[in-house]
């Protein structure tokens, strides 16, 4: 229990670190946020007023404190570009991103583990090698290429699935089930892309582990005991090979969010990534700050969960 | 297998060495020509020769990737070796620092920096390096930790060699092979990241070509001018695939 | 001379490993017999092929190794050509095997007790509870303390001696007639070694098992074995009853082995005997010398030993030697 407490504490510490990091970055950057609003020929007075309004004329530490205090209360500032509280923007965007990423993660892990096990076990047979090549190719393809190719095939050529957005324009008229189906149709493409790419990476990882497990002495002993092949694989090999997958969770979160950003931009999916993208082009600092915070939060939480889960699952660590 | 990939790599090196200057700028008359003898890969919306754009973009993407990896490896190896070798408090502190940076989605960090500091190739390299050395450091640290206990290191310490010398002459040469494997794989990773960034407009800026930006150029006309997207896409896939295969091959040899 | 039934009969066994660099002949032309109830010690340096031979008996040789020729007969039945499925019915049930390193032979994420009971459940259809009870009994037989606690424990929580007992329990779970023990004591402390050895002796008597004991340690062999086979570079160079071998070794390699071990002899006041380590090194298995493989290190070898490999010279008492100069 003490260990859990330690990890949580550490996680919070990291979070603070991220916030500080973020803030420092902003202060290091050249240029003035007010450039967005005015052209070069602006009266000095107006400039000063605006700066005061935006609060950027205060020293670093003060701004940091202000922001911190507001943030703890749940107020994440006001978007400069969209003229809405950042919090509202995020409340809409985060669930959208979560839908996408959680489903993708599910596909990723299940498909990845299965494929990885298959390629590990059948690494010498021809179909094992084929799957291996396929997953290598999938791994080498950049996400965006995958995405536009998929859009090309499924949306334009085959007219099966919608190319963008979270729901159709006439969704307001749908009943519950139609709405659900519509949402699913919109989800299929982006989720499968995110999921499949991740699955390729996972399966490579699992495959490596599976191969190394199969070389172990205890597997040879299992055969020497006369256990049937199926039992050797299922009860002995799989468990050992799959335990490290939990650690993957922690490593994946950052990648997942990053890839989600690209996918969201391409599919015009109204999630966190898209919001960040727009914020960057409009130099909307409060939004960027908040998004980074949330992203950091998600990553740290993911790491924490995977760390704790791993300690719980692996008997070598659990039972001392 | 490794042999096969070597062959692929030799096909790639002409890409690096071909010195095509901005012969990209061509009269607007020849917009969107399909592949022909004059323009092997066709032309894009500004009439620029796609072939030379792909080659030139390849040069840029590869330069970026290689420099990033080179720098990250330099930093990462030293950091990781020191941390792994000394252990104890030094190790703890150094690793906490790494943890902090790793807790951040790399792309978000990159993207934030691009937003704040403008864009440009050197900046891109800097940012990617800064986010890239972290897990190299971790991996090297793990290896060094394992190597630390081996007899030949203990012998060196018993002989009273100075610490720096031990790290430099004895430890590092032994991690070199792993390092090379990691580096090769990293180059492929960076290419993927950089092209993704260029694709969404945050990487290499137009009119400079990068595989990513060329693909983006062709994105809207996929149905008609497919060549603008296809060729850089294939270039990326071939490059990254062969790099991965080589990297895996090196790793396999090591064992 | 007891003529008990022949349990295991190996004839002209050859196991080769096909590597990119060449072919490693790990087991060459091996003949071995084990009778019911007897203990055969298989002695040799590391790399002589002992483990591969043991694995060949139950067809568990890892790739790229293959049994190239020869037969293995068990209880009168030729088991060399059995299918994998039929073989797995014999393994564990009729032939038990204890692998070399207790540290890595147990699955780290499965409770050790279950690793015993699964053998029982595989070969006899039994309910879980029944198998568990049988496992407890078995664990007590191998002198494991506190069986309920250890059943649930994981491999990393147990000491080397305890792990070895678990492995013995696994091998004996289905009361096999033949037990193959590969270096059962090498990884253990000396004090534990003797415990394990006496345990094996007791179990052997209680369950009437034949034991193939593989080791490089001659003292163990002298204590435990009825007959001994000496292996060098994949071949059996001498096979004899244990007393005969130790008092009157014939093959130069056997002689050298015995001389290389310090003898504690309290019958003399001064130190008796000197240690004479063997000269040379174990040959490169891909580049074996012509003729008799031992001749480069042999004190009495000469040119006549370089042409062909010596055949078996049979002596009385079921003994044989492969040497041109056995002087018989």
DSSP string, C79-101: -TT--HHHHHHHBTTTEEEE-S-
**Would you give the DSSP letter of residue C268?**
S
Lowest mean pLDDT: which of B9-23, B98-112, B134-148?
B9-23
For chain C, domains (ranges, CATH) are: 6-84+227-321 (3.40.50.300)
Average pLDDT over residues A152-177: 65
Residue B85 near residue B172 (C-beta atoms within 8 A): no
**A44 contact C CB<8A:** no
Lowest mean pLDDT: which of A143-147, A187-191, B21-25?
B21-25
A96, A139: one domain: yes
Give the chains touching B; criterion: ≥3 Cβ pairs < 8 Å. A
Q: Do A226 and C119 lie within an 8 Å CB cutoff?
A: yes
Nearest to B104 among A145, A254, A283 (CB): A254
Lowest mean pLDDT: which of A10-24, B34-48, B108-122, C14-28?
B34-48
A66, A211: one domain: no
Kindly state whether residue A82 falls inside one of the protein's structural domains. no
Both ends of chain A: CA-CA distance in Å? 14
**Predicted pLDDT at B225:** 64
**C-alpha–C-alpha distance, residues B100 and A20, integer Å:** 11
Q: Do B241 and A262 lie within an 8 Å CB cutoff?
A: no
What chain A residue is nearest to B104 in terms of C-alpha separation?
A296
Q: Mean pLDDT score of chain B, rounded to an integer?
A: 71
> In terms of Cα–Cα distance, which of C132, C212, C119 is closest to C174?
C119
**Predicted pLDDT at C233:** 81
Q: Do A291 and B192 lie within an 8 Å CB cutoff?
A: no
**C-alpha–C-alpha distance, residues C147 and C124, integer Å:** 22
**C-alpha–C-alpha distance, residues C98 and C122, integer Å:** 18
**Predicted pLDDT at A19:** 72
Percent of chain B with pLDDT over 90: 0
**C235-241 and C319-321 strand pairing:** antiparallel
Residue B212 near residue B194 (C-beta atoms within 8 A): yes
> In terms of Cα–Cα distance, which of A313, A203, A301, A206 is closest to A250?
A301
Kindly state whether residue A146 falls inside one of the protein's structural domains. yes
**C-alpha–C-alpha distance, residues C108 and C97, integer Å:** 19
**C-alpha–C-alpha distance, residues C91 and A3, integer Å:** 45
Contacts of A134 in chain B (CB under 8 A): none
Q: Do B111 and A140 lie within an 8 Å CB cutoff?
A: no
**Predicted pLDDT at B21:** 47
Kindly state whether residue A307 falls inside one of the protein's structural domains. yes
Can you tell me whether residue B240 is helix, strand or coil?
A: helix
A102, A187: one domain: yes
Is the ipTM higher than 0.85? The answer is: no
For residue C107, how many other CB atoms are within 10 A of its CB? 24
**C-alpha–C-alpha distance, residues B172 and C126, integer Å:** 57
Lowest mean pLDDT: which of B15-29, B164-178, B196-210?
B15-29
Average pLDDT over residues A151-174: 65
pLDDT tens per residue across span B192-221: 888 888 888 777 776 677 778 778 877 776
**Predicted pLDDT at C100:** 80
Can you tell me whether residue B251 is helix, strand or coil?
A: helix
B155 exposure class (CB count in 10 Å sphere: 0-12, 13-18, 19+): exposed
**C-alpha–C-alpha distance, residues C232 and C30, integer Å:** 11
Residue A304 near residue A313 (C-beta atoms within 8 A): no
**C-alpha–C-alpha distance, residues C262 and C268, integer Å:** 14
Contacts of A145 in chain B (CB under 8 A): 215, 229, 233, 236-237
Residue C154 near residue C111 (C-beta atoms within 8 A): yes
**C-alpha–C-alpha distance, residues C238 and A221, integer Å:** 30
Kindly state whether residue A31 falls inside one of the protein's structural domains. yes
**C227-232 and C39-43 strand pairing:** parallel
**C-alpha–C-alpha distance, residues B45 and B34, integer Å:** 11
**C-alpha–C-alpha distance, residues A101 and A194, integer Å:** 8
**Predicted pLDDT at B48:** 67
- pTM metric for this prediction: 0.78
Nearest to A141 among B114, B117, B237 (CB): B237
H or E stretch including A38? Answer: none
**Predicted pLDDT at A35:** 55
For chain B, domains (ranges, CATH) are: 41-254 (1.10.3720.10)
Q: Do A224 and C60 lie within an 8 Å CB cutoff?
A: yes
Q: Do C170 and A228 lie within an 8 Å CB cutoff?
A: no
Chain A to chain C, count of Cβ pairs less than 8 Å apart?
78
Q: Do A280 and B114 lie within an 8 Å CB cutoff?
A: yes
**Predicted pLDDT at B144:** 75
Q: Do A220 and C62 lie within an 8 Å CB cutoff?
A: yes
Please state, in angstroms and as integers, the Cα–Cα distance from residue B177 to each residue in B85, B140, B249, C51, following that order. Answer: 18, 11, 11, 33
How many residues does the structure list for chain C? Answer: 328
Q: How are strands ordered across the β-sheet holding C95-98?
A: C95-98, C178-182, C210-215, C39-43, C227-232, C235-241, C319-321, C313-315
Residue C249 near residue C238 (C-beta atoms within 8 A): yes
Can you tell me whether residue A185 is helix, strand or coil?
A: helix
H or E stretch including B80? Answer: helix B50-86
> What CATH number does residue A294 fall under?
1.10.3720.10
Nearest to A226 among C62, C92, C108 (CB): C92
What are the residues whose beta carbons fall under 8 Å from the beta carbon of C41, sequence distance 6 or more?
Answer: C213, C214, C215, C220, C221, C224, C225, C227, C228, C229, C242
Which residues of C lie closer than 8 Å to A, measured between beta carbons?
A: 58, 60, 62, 84-85, 88-93, 97, 99-101, 104-110, 118-119, 122-123, 153-154, 156-157, 167, 170
A54, A118: one domain: no
Kindly state whether residue A301 falls inside one of the protein's structural domains. yes
**HSE-CB of B53 using CA atoms within 13 angstroms:** 35
Q: Mean pLDDT score of chain A, rounded to an integer?
A: 76
Average pLDDT over residues A135-162: 76
User: CA torsion sign, A161 to A164 to A170 to A172?
Assistant: positive
| The two three-digit tokens of residue B139, written as one number | 């991996």
A109, A227: one domain: yes
**B220 contact A CB<8A:** no
**Predicted pLDDT at B46:** 64
| The two three-digit tokens of residue B188, written as one number | 């492929």
Nearest to C104 among A218, A315, A319 (CB): A218
Residue A296 near residue B104 (C-beta atoms within 8 A): yes
The backbone torsions φ and ψ at residue C13, rounded to the nearest 5 degrees and listed phi first, read: -75, 135
Q: Do A262 and B196 lie within an 8 Å CB cutoff?
A: yes
Domain boundary among A42, A72, A102: A72
Q: Which of A101-110, A250-259, B28-37 has the highest mean pLDDT?
A: A101-110
In DSSP terms, which residues pair with C211 in a beta bridge?
C39, C179
What chain C residue is nearest to A240 in terms of C-alpha separation?
C109
Q: How many domains does chain A have?
A: 2
Average pLDDT over residues B11-20: 52
Is pLDDT at A267 greater than 50 in this prediction?
A: yes
Contacts of C122 in chain A (CB under 8 A): 225-228, 231
From C296's Cα to the closest Cα of chain A, the distance in A is: 35
Q: Which of A106-120, B46-60, C257-271 has the highest mean pLDDT?
A: A106-120
Chain A to chain B, count of Cβ pairs less than 8 Å apart?
122
**Predicted pLDDT at C271:** 46
Contacts of A211 in chain C (CB under 8 A): none
**C-alpha–C-alpha distance, residues B227 and B35, integer Å:** 7
Kindly state whether residue A77 falls inside one of the protein's structural domains. no
From A140's Cα to the closest Cα of chain B, the distance in A is: 5
Residue C36 near residue C210 (C-beta atoms within 8 A): yes
What chain A residue is nearest to C173 in terms of C-alpha separation?
A225
**C-alpha–C-alpha distance, residues C281 and C232, integer Å:** 12
Is pLDDT at A241 greater than 80 in this prediction?
A: yes
Domain boundary among A72, A101, A117: A72
For residue A44, how many other CB atoms are within 10 A of its CB? 7
A57, A102: one domain: no
Q: Checking phi first, is residue C193 left (phi over 0); if not, alpha (psi -120 to 50) or beta?
A: alpha
**C-alpha–C-alpha distance, residues C255 and C249, integer Å:** 6
Average pLDDT over residues A197-202: 86
Q: Do C156 and A316 lie within an 8 Å CB cutoff?
A: yes
**Predicted pLDDT at C6:** 80
Low-confidence ranges of chain C (pLDDT < 50): 1-2, 266-272, 328
Contacts of A280 in chain B (CB under 8 A): 111-112, 114-115, 202
Both ends of chain C: CA-CA distance in Å? 22
Percent of chain A with pLDDT over 70: 73
What are the residues whose beta carbons fall under 8 Å from the beta carbon of C47, sequence distance 6 or more?
Answer: C282, C285
Which residues in B48-76 are b (16+ Cβ under 10 Å) and which e?
Answer: bbbbbbbbbbbbbbbebbbbbbebbbebb
From A100's Cα to the closest Cα of chain B, the distance in A is: 17
Q: Which domain holds residue A47?
A: 2-72
For residue B118, how many other CB atoms are within 10 A of its CB? 12
**Predicted pLDDT at A165:** 65
Contacts of A314 in chain C (CB under 8 A): 109
H or E stretch including C239? Answer: strand C235-241
Can you tell me whether residue B112 is helix, strand or coil?
A: helix
Q: DSSP letter string over C40-84?
A: EEEE--TTSSHHHHHHHHTT-PPTTEEEEEEEEEETTEE-TT--H
Q: Do C107 and A225 lie within an 8 Å CB cutoff?
A: no
A156, A236: one domain: yes
A188, A214: one domain: yes
A136, A256: one domain: yes
**Would you give the DSSP letter of residue B168?**
I
Chosen for mutation from A215, A225, A236 (greatest number of chain C CBs closer than 10 Å) is: A225
Q: Residue B4 — very low, low, confident or very high, per pLDDT cuts 50/70/90?
A: low
Is pLDDT at B237 greater than 70 in this prediction?
A: yes
| The two three-digit tokens of residue A96, written as one number | 């959208």
> In terms of Cα–Cα distance, which of B194, B234, B241, B242 is closest to B218?
B234
pLDDT top residue among A98 and C294: A98
């Amino acid at each position: 229990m003490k260990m859990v407490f330690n990890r949580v504490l550490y996680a919070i510490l990291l979070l603070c670190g991220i916030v500080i990091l973020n803030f420092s970055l902003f202060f290091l950057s050249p240029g003035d946020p007010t450039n967005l609003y005015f052209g070069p020929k602006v009266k000095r007075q107006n400039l000063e007023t605006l700066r005061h309004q935006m609060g950027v004329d205060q020293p670093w530490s003060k701004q940091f404190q202000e922001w911190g205090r507001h943030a703890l209360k749940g107020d994440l500032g006001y978007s400069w570009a969209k003229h809405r509280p950042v919090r509202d923007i995020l409340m809409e965007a985060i669930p959208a991103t979560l839908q996408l990423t959680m489903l993708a993660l599910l596909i990723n892990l299940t498909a990845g583990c299965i494929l990885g096990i298959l390629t590990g076990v059948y690494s010498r047979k021809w179909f094992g090698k084929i799957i291996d090549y396929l997953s290598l190719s999938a791994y080498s393809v950049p996400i965006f290429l995958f995405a536009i190719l998929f859009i090309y095939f499924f949306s334009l050529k085959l007219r099966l699935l919608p190319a963008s957005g979270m729901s159709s324009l006439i969704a307001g008229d749908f009943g519950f089930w139609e709405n659900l189906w519509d949402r699913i149709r919109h989800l299929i493409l982006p989720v499968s892309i995110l999921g499949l790419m991740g699955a390729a990476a996972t399966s490579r990882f699992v495959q490596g582990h599976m191969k190394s497990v199969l070389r172990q002495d205890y597997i040879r002993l299992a055969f020497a005991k006369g256990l049937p092949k199926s039992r050797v694989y299922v009860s002995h090999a799989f468990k050992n090979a799959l335990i490290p997958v939990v650690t993957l969770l922690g490593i994946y979160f950052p990648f997942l969010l990053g890839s989600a950003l690209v996918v969201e931009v391409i599919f015009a999916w109204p999630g966190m990534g898209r919001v960040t993208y727009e914020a960057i082009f409009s130099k909307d600092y409060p939004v960027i700050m908040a998004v980074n915070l949330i992203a950091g939060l998600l990553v740290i939480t993911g790491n924490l969960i995977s760390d704790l889960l791993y300690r719980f699952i692996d008997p070598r660590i659990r039972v001392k | 297998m490794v042999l096969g990939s070597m062959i692929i790599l030799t096909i790639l090196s002409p890409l690096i060495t071909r010195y095509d200057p901005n012969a990209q700028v061509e009269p607007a008359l020849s917009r969107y020509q399909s592949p022909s003898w004059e323009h092997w890969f066709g032309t894009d919306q500004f009439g620029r020769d796609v072939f030379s754009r792909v080659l030139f973009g390849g040069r840029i993407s590869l330069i970026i990737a290689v420099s990033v990896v080179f720098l990250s490896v330099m930093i990462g190896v030293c950091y990781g070796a020191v941390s792994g070798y000394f252990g104890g408090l030094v190790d703890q502190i150094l690793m906490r620092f790494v943890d902090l940076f790793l807790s951040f989605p790399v792309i978000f960090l990159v993207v934030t920096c691009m937003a704040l500091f403008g864009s440009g190739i050197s900046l891109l390299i800097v940012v990617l390096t800064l986010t890239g050395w972290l897990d190299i450091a971790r991996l090297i640290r793990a290896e060094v930790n394992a190597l630390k206990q081996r007899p030949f290191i203990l012998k060196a310490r018993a002989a009273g060699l100075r610490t720096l010398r031990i790290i430099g002459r004895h430890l590092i040469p032994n991690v070199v092979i792993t390092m090379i494997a990691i580096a090769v794989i990293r180059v492929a990773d960076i290419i993927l990241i950089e092209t993704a960034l260029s694709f969404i407009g945050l990487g290499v800026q137009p009119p400079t070509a990068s595989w990513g930006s060329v693909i983006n150029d062709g994105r809207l006309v996929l149905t008609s001018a497919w060549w603008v997207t296809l060729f850089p896409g294939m270039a990326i896939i071939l490059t990254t695939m062969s790099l991965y295969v080589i990297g895996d091959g090196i790793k396999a040899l090591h064992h | 001379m007891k003529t008990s039934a022949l349990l295991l009969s190996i004839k002209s066994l050859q196991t080769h490993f096909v590597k990119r660099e060449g072919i490693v002949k790990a087991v060459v032309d091996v003949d071995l017999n084990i009778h019911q109830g007897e203990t055969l010690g298989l002695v040799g340096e590391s790399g002589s092929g002992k483990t591969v031979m043991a694995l060949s008996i139950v067809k568990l040789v890892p790739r790229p190794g293959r049994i190239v020729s020869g037969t293995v007969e068990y209880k009168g039945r030729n088991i060399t050509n059995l299918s994998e499925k039929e073989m797995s019915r014999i393994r564990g049930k009729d032939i038990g095997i204890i692998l070399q390193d207790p540290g890595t032979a147990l699955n780290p994420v499965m409770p050790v007790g279950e690793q015993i009971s699964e053998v029982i459940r595989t070969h006899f259809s039994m309910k879980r509870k029944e198998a568990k009870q049988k496992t407890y009994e078995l664990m007590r037989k191998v002198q494991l303390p506190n069986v309920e606690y250890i059943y649930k424990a994981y491999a990393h929580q147990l000491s080397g001696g305890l792990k070895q007992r678990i492995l013995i329990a696994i091998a004996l779970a289905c009361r096999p007639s033949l037990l193959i023990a590969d270096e059962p004591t090498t990884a253990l402390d000396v004090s534990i070694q003797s415990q394990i050895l006496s345990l094996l002796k007791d179990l052997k008597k209680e369950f009437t098992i034949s034991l193939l004991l593989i080791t490089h340690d001659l003292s163990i062999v002298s204590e435990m074995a009825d007959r001994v086979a000496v292996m060098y570079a994949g071949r059996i160079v001498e096979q004899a009853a244990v007393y005969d071998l130790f008092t009157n070794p014939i093959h130069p390699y056997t002689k050298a082995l015995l001389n290389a071990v310090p003898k504690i002899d309290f019958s003399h006041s001064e130190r008796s005997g000197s240690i004479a380590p063997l000269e040379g090194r174990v040959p490169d298995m891909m580049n074996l010398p012509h003729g008799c493989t031992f001749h480069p290190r042999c004190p009495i070898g000469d040119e006549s030993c370089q042409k062909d490999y010596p055949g078996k010279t049979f002596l009385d008492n079921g003994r044989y030697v492969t040497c041109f100069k056995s002087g018989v």
